[in-house]
Structures are given as structure tokens and as C-alpha cells.
Amino acid sequence: MTNDIKDLLRITEKDLTILSSHQEMINHTNTMVIEARLTNSPDRCLNCGCSAIGEEKKRNIVKNGFKKSVLRFEPYQFLPTVMRLAKQRFACRSCKSFWTLQTQLVDEFCFIATHVKLKILSLLKEKISATLIAKLCSVSVNTVLRLLRSLEDYIPGDEGIALPKVLMVDEFKSHLSVEDKMTFICADGESGKLVDILPSKKLDYLVDHFKKSPDCERVRFIVTDMNAAYFQLIPKVFKNAELIIDRFHIIKRLNDAFNEFRVREFKHLMTNGNKSAARKIKSNWRRFLKNSQNIDISTYKSWRSFPTPRFPLLTEQMMLDRLLSYSSALRLAYDCFHSLTDAIRRKDDTEFFDILQNLPLELDEDFRHILVHLMTYETGIRNAMKYPYSNGKIEAKNTHIKTLKRNLYGFKSYTNTKIRIFLLNGLIEIK
């Protein structure tokens, strides 16, 4: 029976004997308690090295009672489990020393089983809170955080991080207890592997950090959004690199600009008393942003804004044409917007900048100003259409980090944050 219990608990020590098991109330919680004993007959003294049996067959090493300790195991069948282990003590008559047998189940001066620690470290790689991990392993939250902090030495220093050929850079909101509330993140643009996270995205801090790396000349491309601070990393640190503006953020800038104009035009129509047209333009805002190549031109049906029998059946293209007929300014902005987005999808940088340089004079002034401002990113936008790199992989990592942050009810310690993110991305191996 005792061997069966040892097999269930995965205990391989031959000197450990299971005496009994029972349930008991500990700290108002029904707990599985396992009574065990650890004893053997040593051949030599651990202190002076004398033989257990000396001259005239007198014993130099004698047993000196037991030292009891309570070891924390992982829950068994949803019951917290502990082992009350009586460890044999020995005394040496030769050197007057004493010692206690040590078990392989726990580290010295520790009362939490090693396999429980490994389970905690494994759960730290998941998107769950330290409180939940502590509950699943029947330990305190401080124990979980202490084990998390023990991995800090496995994080490479500034000089130990190898920079890739394609460096993706971005930031995420962390709410850490530091001055800068935005945390910088960078990753490999080819493999998607996380490179590093830093507590601040300020330019001076980033320059000082990356100058410590011996691989600055290895970086050939910096992939970023339209945050102007990151552009300055190229002349100051990565002098051999070229700038690539993420295509998603170019499209997003165009979408935001067109949406802002559409809202202004909606308010203009409402002010002029054309409320019916304004409401239809408002309710169909998604149709205006849809890829013009995917608009249906053959299927006739009824639309919510143009119901039958008051209106004839219309295709999607005909319905859009009817909406755009309410405002010539909206029609002009719509055509310019889709001409630019189509050029990006075809990766035709020549056409894209030809359109920007020849915008109609009748175009809304605010909308025109945003479009013309894209000319300041000409090098990065041309490279975005020339090379296959984007920030998609780092945006995916940001999504995982946001999920982790939400499940953990936010971050407070930068060190704990960095270790959890490194664990999540497999940069710290637990063996």
C-alpha cells in the first residue's frame, strides 16, 4: 500500500516510508495529510568522515531522534496535500556533530516540494494571474512572486541581446510604477521572435540602450508605425538601416482621415436640413471603407436605407453611388481615398505618390492636409511597398500582452512584467 501511495505521488526515494494517510482540517480547510518517515544507516560522518563503526566494533554514529517537518505538495483530487515527514537525526561520537537526513522532495531549508515549484513556473507561462496560480497550487501569492523573481537572472543583459536584420519596434500601455506609462517592445521582423522590452519609449533612453549592443550595424531595416521618435533611431544608432512604415498604419491613417471628413460632411448635411441623406451616410459608414475591388456589382437586393417597394432593387455599387450623390465633396474624397488604398494594395508606390502630388483643388482642405502630410514619410512608405516586412507579428505579440495584462488586472512591477512576457514568448526555458 505504501508503495502505491509513493507511486501516486511520484516519490522514488527508497529510504522514505509512507506510514499512513488521512484527512484533517488545517487552517479551516479539509487537507490530505500523509505521514512519512525518512531514515537510513550512514557509513560515514558528514563532518569528520569517520567510519560508522570504529575500533572494537563500537558505533561512532548513532541515531538521535527525528526532526519533523511539513512539506507542501500539489493538490490531490482537489484536496490540498501535505506530508508530515519525520527525518532521522544522527550524532557522531567522534567529532560531537549532529545532522539531519535531507530528502530529494524539497530543496534545503524549503518546505515546498520541487515538483510544485516546477508546476508554478509552468503556469507562469500562461495568461493567468499569480493569485489563480497560488490557488491552483495551494501556496501563497508571495511564493509565486518569489519564484517568478528567481528567473530574473535568466534575462540577458543589454550587451547579451542579439539584434536581428529586420527590427520591428512598437509600444504598449503598461501602467507600470515608472515615469513613462508606455513600454517599448521590439522583435525580429523575419522570425517574429521577441527581442526585448524596455520600460520607456523615450528617444534618449532608446539611443543609450541600443548603443550598448555590438550588433547595431547588423540591423538593415527598422519597421515601425508613424511615431516620429523611432525614425531618429536610424541616424543616431542604426546608421546602416532603412525605414519601413507598416502598411497597416498607412491604411489606418487614410481610413481615419476619410472617416473624419465623412463625419464633418454628415454634420454639414444635418445643418443644411438634409437629415435623411445625412442619416443614410452615417448608418452606411462601413460601406465607404470597404475595398472597392470587393464591392458587389451584380446582385440586386433591398437595402435598409433604400427599402422596397419605395426604392427599386439595387446592387451594392448602385447603393453606394446613390449615397455619394448626396454630396459631391464626399464623392471626390471617396474617389481619392480608394485610389490611394488600391495603390497600396497593389504596392505601386509610383502611382501612390502621383495621386498625392495631383490631388484635386476642390478636395476638402482638412482632408487634403492629412493626405499631403504623408509625403513626409515618402521613404518609409516606398520601402513598405518594396519589401515584404510589416509590424503584423509584433502587433500579435501586443495582443497577447494585453490579454495577459487584462487577466492580471494590470502590471505594477516592471521586472515581473518583463519576466512574464519573456516566459510567454519562450525566451526563458524551464528545465
Q: How far apart are CA 34 and CA 296, in angstroms?
A: 71
Say whether both 55 and 162 belong to one domain: no
Q: What DSSP assignment string belongs to 46-61?
A: TTT--BSB-GGG-BSE
Say whether both 267 and 396 belong to one domain: no
Q: Final residue of a domain: which of 111, 128, 143?
A: 111
Q: How far apart are CA 213 and CA 237, in angstroms?
A: 10
Looking at the domain assignment, is residue 358 inside a domain?
yes
Q: How far apart are CA 295 and CA 336, in angstroms?
A: 17
CATH number, domain with residue 396? 3.30.420.10
Q: What's the number of domains the chain is made of?
A: 3
Say whether both 290 and 395 belong to one domain: no
Shortest CA distance to 400 belongs to which of 197, 156, 143, 151? 197
Mapping DSSP onto H, E and C, the string for 88-117 reads EEEEECCCCCEEECCCCCCCCCCCECHHHH
Looking at the domain assignment, is residue 128 inside a domain?
no
Residue 230 contacts by C-beta under 8 Å, 6 or more apart in sequence?
169, 222, 224
Say whether both 259 and 327 belong to one domain: yes
CA 13 to chain CA mean position, Å:
40
The residue written with cell numbers 544522527 in the block is 90
Question: So what's the pLDDT on residue 179?
Answer: 59
Looking at the domain assignment, is residue 199 inside a domain?
yes
Say whether both 242 and 274 belong to one domain: no
Say whether both 8 and 105 belong to one domain: yes
Strand pairing partners for 81? 32, 73
Looking at the domain assignment, is residue 121 inside a domain?
no
Q: Final residue of a domain: which of 53, 88, 111?
A: 111
Cis? peptide before 199, omega within 30° of 0: no
H/E stretch holding 170 reads strand 166-173
Q: Final residue of a domain: which of 60, 84, 111?
A: 111
Looking at the domain assignment, is residue 90 inside a domain?
yes
State the cell numbers at 342: 488600391
Shortest CA distance to 248 belongs to which of 357, 334, 168? 168
Say whether both 353 and 402 belong to one domain: no
**How buried is residue 183: exposed, middle or buried, by Cβ count under 10 Å (0-12/13-18/19+)?**
buried
Domain extent, residue 336, equals 248-386
Say whether both 369 and 404 belong to one domain: no
Say whether both 369 and 279 belong to one domain: yes
Say whether both 347 and 382 belong to one domain: yes
pLDDT < 50 regions, the chain: none
Tens digits of per-residue pLDDT, 74-129? Answer: 888 889 999 999 999 988 888 888 888 889 899 888 899 999 999 999 999 999 99
Say whether both 291 and 358 belong to one domain: yes
Q: How far apart are CA 143 and CA 137, in angstroms?
A: 10
Q: How far apart are CA 333 and CA 288, in angstroms?
A: 10
Looking at the domain assignment, is residue 126 inside a domain?
no
- List the alpha helices (DSSP H) in 186-246: 203-210, 228-231, 233-236
Q: How far apart are CA 60 and CA 216, in angstroms?
A: 66
Pairing relationship of beta strands 29-38 and 79-92 according to DSSP bridges: parallel
State the cell numbers at 219: 540591423
Say whether both 257 and 287 belong to one domain: yes
- The CA–CA distances, whole Å, from 242 to 228, 265, 300 equal 14, 39, 49
Tens digits of per-residue pLDDT, 270-306? Answer: 999 999 999 999 999 999 999 999 999 999 999 999 9
Looking at the domain assignment, is residue 118 inside a domain?
no
Radius of gyration of the chain (CA): 34
Looking at the domain assignment, is residue 149 inside a domain?
no
